[in-house]
Structure 1
Amino acid sequence: MKETASNLKGMYMELGGWSVPANIVSGITTKYNGVSKAPFDSLNMGLHVGDEPEDVVHNRQLLAEAIQFPLDTWVLGEQVHGTEIAVATKREAGRGSRELTDSLPSVDGLITNEKGMLLAAFFADCVPLYFFDSTSDWIGMAHAGWRGTVADMAGKMVEALCTNGADRESIQAMIGPCISKNRYEVDDFIVQQIPEEFRAKVLLPSGSDRYYLDLQMLNRLYLLQAGIQDDNILTAAYCTYDSPEFYSHREDQGKTGRMIGFIGMKEEQA
């Protein structure tokens, strides 16, 4: 497995290790340098968790200024733990950036080849999936919890990108920070939804009908199955449960904030 250490910059972590041009901005936020109060302190990005909406929008504005992508360029999906993927165009710019109800309905994955737009999704243990194709300039951002993972969100993102003109041979995929195998215990109900040929590589028995599940490895296997080159798949070496920089739904027993994962292409400089 090819792991990459990324660069923590206080408010957000830049994704390191993959070959992207200077106009590609990608990362995931931390818990730091925002205005939200406990238990969402302090850089909560989720409008759906019970935080004060004005604090969340303020936090998003802080990130927008830091990465130089105004909120009106952001696109966010509703996130229902499914595999619906939307092609984001300038018509969708700003959707979900200030109002929860304005998010793209039922969408967990976003792709675009338009510059000046930021694709974003929320996380607090689930898997962020980032995509970039140097041949076609298509980018993608997906949210994959266990449901999305076993439903092959990773592979469906690859197919959506290729259907719209990306080159499978040159697509790079980054599996972002999520809950690690040692912290993610699941029951047999989830195990039965994992393809049998993958189970030995992603499961470790922990007790009677209980297993530790490696979500990052499982997404990697789906990406390989979809035809992504092994050297083009990178994995971030952070656990959201163990790393104090991140929100963790499981570690915080459900009452917590959300990070935002993002990728965008800046307009070419004149």
Structure 2
Amino acid sequence: MRVAGSSFQGFLLCRKNLTNEVGKMADFAFAEAKGVEWGCFPAWKQWGVVHGFLCRTGGCSSLFPGGLNLSYNVGDDREKVLANRQKMAAALDFPLERAVACQQVHSTHVAVVTEQDAGKGTLTLADAIPETDGMVTDCHRLPLLISYADCVPILLADTRTGAVGAVHGGWRGSVGKIVPHALNVMKEAFGTEPGDVVAGIGPSIGPCCYEVGQEVADRAAEYPSCLTPHGPGHYMLDLWQLNTLELLEAGVPREQIYRADCCTSCHKDRFFSYRAEKGKTGRLYAVIYRK
């Protein structure tokens, strides 16, 4: 596996404000194996966590030439999607039949995943964990898959108990505090304490590109620092910072919050972007599992 860090520094400059007082943007890098590329936080290796935010190249999509579309739900050829999923699994060193995916609906529901759920959502969307936007588990080598194409993928790892979590944070989930809810579920199920958790906020649409209307701004009004006026009734919303603030409020230490600060809309050559590509795009996965 090849890991690239400093050579990608120019790519990471999609964020206009690079002071980044909260988060570990400098620790975000890209890795490649078997022709598949993904972003990651190399420091997480010390905790026995395998994770990645998949990039769009290196696949065989019928809709996006050379694309690693991982969704059965965008009109792509099913066998090509399955082949892409198998490539992803091989690159990140896990059996696809062990992975678990969910039917994401922009909710704040978080499911506890067990060995009995292994394989759900991998061969067909029909048996994925229903109506769920977050999953947590304490099972080893049980990869959790969260789909993204602008929405914020957030990964959680308990460095003490070994539990992990994966969360889909669109604007609804983010303002609905899905990440603090996931931490509460981990505490109830596994005894997780927020002070033992490392959190990774992955590539997603940034405050440079995410324009929202008054209705969304009103829902995010609890965090005014995450809203920048952009004309009458319009705002630029910073979901990276919003989720960071929620993690801090939940008790995750500042130094344990890692951020990619990498905008999918700015870099649709490397990631699928629903907004930049006007809805005609694929989906990627954020993956996490404990060895």
Q: Tell me the TM-score range normalised by the shorter chain.
A: over 0.9
**1:224-263 mapped onto 2 (5 Å cutoff):** 224-243=248-267, 244-263=269-288
Using the alignment, how far apart are the partners of 2:233 and 2:137 within structure 1? 42
Q: Is the 8 A contact 1:40 1:51 kept in 2?
A: no
Deviation, structure 1 residue 22: 6.3
Q: What's the counterpart of residue 103 of structure 1?
A: 128
Mapped to 2, the partners of 1:169 and 1:30 lie a distance apart of 30
Give the CA RMSD over aligned residues.
1.4
Shift of 1:230: 1.0
Asked if the contact 2:63–2:76 (Cα under 8 Å) also holds between the matched residues in 1, the reply is no
**Cα shift at 1:5:** 2.4
Partner of 2:154: 129
Q: Which residue of 1 aligns with 2:188?
A: 163
Give the SS at the match of 2:81. Answer: helix
What does 1:76-95 align with in structure 2 at a 5 Å threshold? 76-95=101-120
Structure 1 residues 20 and 169, CA gap change in structure 2 (3 angstroms): farther
Aligned identity (percent) is 34
**2:76 and 2:206 mapped to 1: Cα distance?**
26
Instruction: Confirm whether residue 203 of structure 1 aligns to residue 227 of structure 2.
Output: yes
1:96 counterpart letter in structure 2: G
Instruction: Note the residue ranges of structure 2 that are not aligned, 5 or more in a row.
Output: 1-21
Q: CA deviation at 1:137?
A: 0.5
Give how far 1:63 is off: 1.1
Residue deviations 1:117-161, cap 9 Å, x none?
Answer: 100111000000000111110100011111111110111111111
Choose the corresponding residue for 2:80, options 36, 55, 61: 55
- Tell me the SS of whatever aligns to 2:167: strand
- Contact conserved, 1:78 with 1:104, CA < 8 A, in 2? yes
Give SS of 1:225's match: helix
Q: In structure 2, what is the equivalent of residue 182 of structure 1? A: 208
Greater shift, 104-113 or 235-244, is seen at 235-244
Letter in 2 for 1:192: D
Give the partner amino acid of 2:93: Q
Cα 1:23–1:227 change in 2 (3 A) is: closer
Residues 1:148 and 2:173 are matched in the alignment? yes
Residue 12 of structure 1: SS of its match in structure 2?
strand
Cα distance in 1 for residues equivalent to 2:91 and 2:177: 33
One-letter code of the match for 2:175? V
Aligned length, in residue pairs:
264
Equivalent residues of 2:177, 2:246 under 8 A apart:
yes
Deviation at 1:40, TM superposition (A): 6.7
Match of 2:199 among 159, 166, 173: 173
| 1:175 Cα deviation after fit | 0.5
- Does residue 30 of structure 2 align to residue 7 of structure 1? yes
Residue pair 2:209, 2:236 contacting (<8 A) in 1 also: yes
Pairwise CA distance, 1:17: 4.9
* TM-aligned CA deviation for residue 101 of structure 1: 0.6
Gaps of 5+ in 1: none
Q: Distance in 2 between matches of 1:139 and 1:40?
A: 33
Distance 1:101 1:12 in 2: 28
SS of residue in 1 equivalent to 2:195: coil
Q: Distance in 1 between matches of 2:65 and 2:235?
A: 30
Name 1:220's counterpart in structure 2.
Answer: 244
CA distance in 1, matches of 2:46, 2:117: 24
Give runs of ≥4 in structure 1 deviating > 2 Å. Answer: 17-23, 37-41
Q: What TM-score do you get using the length of structure 2 for normalisation?
A: 0.87
Amino acid at match of 1:190: V
Q: 1:55 to 1:111 in 2, by over 3 A?
A: same
1: distance between equivalents of 2:262 and 2:36? 16
